[in-house]
């Protein structure tokens, strides 16, 4: 990923000040972080509730307020593709003429060593992550066709805009020598590297800006479990102009709706409608804002508010969300040491193991088709009953009732293009594969509840299994039978689990980047990923 050079810090702060933004430089200092790159630290003790950064939305950079916003809108380009194209034009064509260039120039990629997401690595480099959770659960080594399609769209647009409006083509990205495969590959990789760099810095702003880059806010490092900041931005604004409340676009739209309703009533009553002219609507939409209307409105700003007290010299952290390293590295290009949200995916090992025995084939199919959803519904019912009990029994003595802990929330959503959690059978659709995403071990070396339920299903006595299947056909399945799937693991269960876990083969931890096209930072992240999964497996086996 890109990292901000310390030499650029003063330029970024100056840009914020020049755009009437407010950064609490009296209490904060931006400097090198022990976890890598730049971080933001408390210069003094700071109380929670303090606003560390306040920026007008005109100071953030999005596709919607870029120099080519109208062109992107006319060609119906949005999302991250629009932001990446806008960024490339802003930093290569408009440069010093751009309002945002003093900030955007700090996010330029390193052409000497492009940092790409794992799906675009060379095949030999991909082997360093083959079989890890990044590969089997998130499918992050598989080709991502949307980026190739986005690149082709960008080239077509650049050619069109050059022809129609004489807008220069960004030479380093979209001016291809189609007869030179190396040139095409290099410029595609630059496009991907730029998109990857931006992805680690974007914030969701509102209906109008959508994803955007926010100066200084992107310098705070990520904390997995205890972030210090809350990002504030009014999301519900006009998607045409970004104004909160009843803007001219909404007034014009409402007038049009009133006119249509009046026309319907007039037709029914055979009366002549009173019409609102299109000229009036256009006039309202295009009417300039008077100087006295430009008063400061808090809804026009984004803010970073401190939610924890911070002591002098402590680093102040933001959060990308609660994610394991396998997802952080695939999506954002970094890892966190000792991440308590790390997991080990066993989906492929479960699939392969079940093929070894006819009984396992039958029972795994029943679990996939019926048992998984049945068990999930029962667990949710038990959880709801526990919560209702807790709400109605405030005075019960400790130990008088048995209380069950809340079910751990480990729903793993797939990224677009994910190969259904490592399942190889192409005929199965994504819905039927969702159960496999719950075949994992957590950071503490404990098994997911659904993994345990599945193992119990495989090991049930035949007579009990038949009762379970028969019970699942009724409107009210037998709770005692279903409850068996949550009982303590037996010696036979543990033997089966050990077989599945032992089949998980992880790559060796790479010593350095020798023989690869990867950076030392990427090699470090790979080492963190593999070592974390190895430690989790060891913790689990030690407990069995």
pLDDT at 403 over 60: no
pLDDT at 374 over 50: yes
> Whole-angstrom Cα distance, residue 265 to residue 261?
6
Where residue 238 falls among pLDDT bands split at 50, 70, 90? confident
pLDDT of residue 527: 97
Residue 409 Cα to chain centre, angstroms: 17
pLDDT at 396 over 50: no
> Whole-angstrom Cα distance, residue 303 to residue 53?
5
Where residue 296 falls among pLDDT bands split at 50, 70, 90? low
Q: For the ranges 23-37, 278-292, 527-541, which has the lowest average pLDDT?
A: 278-292
pLDDT of residue 385: 54
Digit-coded pLDDT (tens) for 41-80:
999 999 999 999 999 999 999 999 999 999 999 999 999 9
> Whole-angstrom Cα distance, residue 474 to residue 68?
61
Instruction: Tell me the CA end-to-end span of the chain in Å, nearest whole number.
Output: 40
Q: Which of 342, 349, 344 is nearest to 454 (CA)?
A: 349
SS3 state of residue 13:
helix
pTM reported for the whole predicted model: 0.81
pLDDT of residue 390: 53
Q: Residue range 266-287: average pLDDT?
A: 55
pLDDT at 260 over 60: no
> Whole-angstrom Cα distance, residue 160 to residue 241?
26
**Percentages of the chain per state (helix, strand, coil), in multiples of 5:** 50, 10, 40
pLDDT of residue 281: 53
> Whole-angstrom Cα distance, residue 250 to residue 475?
50
13 burial type by CB count under 10 A (0-12 exposed, 13-18 middle, 19+ buried): middle
- 31 vs 252, which has greater pLDDT? 31
The Cα-based distances of 118 to 26, 141, 505 in angstroms read 40, 6, 19
Half-sphere exposure of 293 (CA within 13 A, CB side): 6
Cβ count near 392 (within 10 Å):
8
Where residue 436 falls among pLDDT bands split at 50, 70, 90? very high
Ramachandran region, residue 396 (left: φ > 0; alpha: ψ -120 to 50; beta: rest): beta
Contact 489, 458 (CB under 8 A): no
Q: Which residues does residue 303 pair with via DSSP β-bridges, in sequence order?
A: 54, 232
Q: For the ranges 97-101, 343-347, 414-418, 499-503, which has the lowest average pLDDT?
A: 414-418
Digit-coded pLDDT (tens) for 152-184:
999 999 999 999 999 999 999 999 998 999 999
> Whole-angstrom Cα distance, residue 443 to residue 520?
26
* Residue carrying structure tokens 């998980």: 504
Q: Residue range 81-104: average pLDDT?
A: 96
Q: Residue range 77-103: average pLDDT?
A: 96
Phi, psi of 367 (to 5 degrees): -60, -45
Q: Who contacts 365 (Cβ-Cβ below 8 Å, separation ≥6)?
A: none
The share of the chain scoring above pLDDT 90, in percent, equals 66
Tokens of 196: 């990857």
Count of all residues that appear for the chain in the document? 544
Q: Residue range 458-468: average pLDDT?
A: 94
Q: What mean pLDDT is reported for the chain?
A: 84
pLDDT of residue 381: 81
Long-range CB pairs of 99-102, under 8 A, 24+ apart, other chains included = 100/15, 100/61, 102/11, 102/12, 102/14, 102/15, 102/18
pLDDT of residue 418: 35
pLDDT at 412 over 80: no
pLDDT of residue 379: 86
pLDDT at 311 over 50: yes
Q: Residue range 351-361: average pLDDT?
A: 95
- 174 vs 426, which has greater pLDDT? 174
pLDDT at 279 over 90: no
Digit-coded pLDDT (tens) for 320-354:
889 999 999 999 999 999 999 999 999 999 999 99
Q: For the ranges 25-29, 154-158, 431-435, which has the lowest average pLDDT?
A: 431-435
pLDDT at 439 over 80: yes
Determine the CATH number of domain 6-238+298-332.
3.90.1410.10
* Residue carrying structure tokens 């690149």: 151
Q: Which residues does residue 204 pair with via DSSP β-bridges, in sequence order?
A: 211
- 37 vs 415, which has greater pLDDT? 37
The share of the chain scoring above pLDDT 70, in percent, equals 79
Contact 42, 312 (CB under 8 A): yes
The Cα-based distances of 230 to 53, 65, 308, 328 in angstroms read 11, 24, 10, 20
Residue 241 Cα to chain centre, angstroms: 26
Where residue 216 falls among pLDDT bands split at 50, 70, 90? very high
Q: Return the ∠ at Cα 36 (arms to 33 and 42), rounded to 5°.
A: 20
pLDDT of residue 278: 53
Sheet strand arrangement including 315-318? 28-32, 38-42, 315-318, 221-222
Q: Residue range 79-90: average pLDDT?
A: 97
Q: Who contacts 102 (Cβ-Cβ below 8 Å, separation ≥6)?
A: 11, 12, 14, 15, 18
């Amino acid at each position: 990923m890109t990292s901000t050079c310390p030499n650029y810090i003063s330029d970024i702060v100056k840009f914020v000040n020049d755009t009437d933004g407010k950064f609490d430089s009296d209490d904060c200092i931006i400097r090198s972080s022990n976890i890598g790159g730049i971080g933001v630290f408390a210069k003094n003790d700071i109380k929670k509730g303090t606003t560390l950064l306040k920026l007008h939305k005109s100071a953030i950079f999005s596709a919607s307020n870029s120099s080519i916003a109208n062109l992107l809108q006319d060609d119906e380009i949005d999302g991250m593709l629009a932001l990446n194209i806008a960024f490339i034009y802003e930093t290569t064509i408009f440069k010093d003429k751009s309002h945002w260039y003093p900030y955007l120039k700090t996010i330029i990629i390193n052409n000497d060593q492009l940092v790409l997401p794992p799906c675009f690595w060379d095949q030999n480099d991909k082997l360093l992550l083959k079989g890890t959770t990044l590969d089997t659960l998130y499918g992050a080594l598989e080709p991502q066709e949307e980026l190739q399609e986005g690149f082709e769209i960008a080239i077509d647009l650049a050619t069109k805009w050059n022809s129609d409006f004489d807008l220069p083509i960004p030479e380093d990205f979209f001016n291809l020598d189609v007869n030179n495969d190396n040139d095409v590959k290099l410029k595609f990789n630059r496009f991907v590297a730029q998109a990857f760099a931006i992805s680690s810095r974007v914030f969701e702003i509102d209906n109008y800006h959508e994803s955007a880059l926010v100066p200084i806010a992107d310098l705070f490092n990520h904390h997995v479990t205890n972030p210090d900041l809350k990002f504030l931005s009014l999301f519900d604004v006009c998607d045409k102009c970004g104004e909160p409340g009843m803007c001219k676009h909404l007034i014009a739209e409402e007038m049009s709706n009133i006119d249509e309703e009046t026309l319907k009533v007039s037709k029914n009553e055979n009366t002549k409608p009173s019409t609102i002219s299109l000229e009036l609507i256009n006039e309202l939409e295009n009417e300039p804002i008077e100087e006295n209307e430009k008063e400061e409105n808090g809804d026009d700003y984004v803010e970073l508010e401190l939610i924890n007290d911070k002591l002098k010299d402590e680093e102040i952290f933001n959060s990308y969300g609660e994610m394991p390293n396998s997802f952080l590295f695939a999506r954002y290009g970094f890892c966190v040491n000792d991440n308590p949200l790390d997991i080990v995916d066993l989906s492929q090992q479960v699939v392969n193991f079940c093929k070894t025995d006819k009984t396992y084939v039958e029972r795994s199919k029943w679990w996939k088709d019926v048992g998984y959803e049945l068990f999930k519904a029962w667990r949710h019912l038990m959880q709801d009953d526990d919560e209702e009990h807790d709400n109605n029994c405030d005075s019960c003595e400790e130990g008088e009732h048995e209380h069950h802990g809340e079910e751990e929330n480990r729903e793993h959503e797939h990224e677009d293009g994910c190969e259904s959690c490592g399942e190889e059978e192409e005929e199965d659709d994504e819905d039927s594969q969702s159960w496999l995403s719950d075949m994992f071990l957590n950071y503490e070396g404990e098994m997911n509840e659904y993994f345990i339920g599945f193992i119990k299903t495989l090991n049930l006595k035949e007579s009990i299994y038949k009762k379970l299947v028969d019970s699942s056909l009724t409107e009210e399945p037998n709770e005692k039978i279903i409850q068996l799937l949550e009982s303590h693991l037996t010696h036979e269960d543990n033997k089966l689990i050990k077989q599945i876990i032992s089949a998980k083969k992880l790559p060796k931890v790479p010593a350095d980047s020798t023989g690869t096209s990867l950076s030392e930072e990427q090699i470090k992240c790979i080492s963190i990923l593999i070592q974390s999964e190895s430690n989790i497996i060891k913790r689990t086996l030690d407990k069995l």
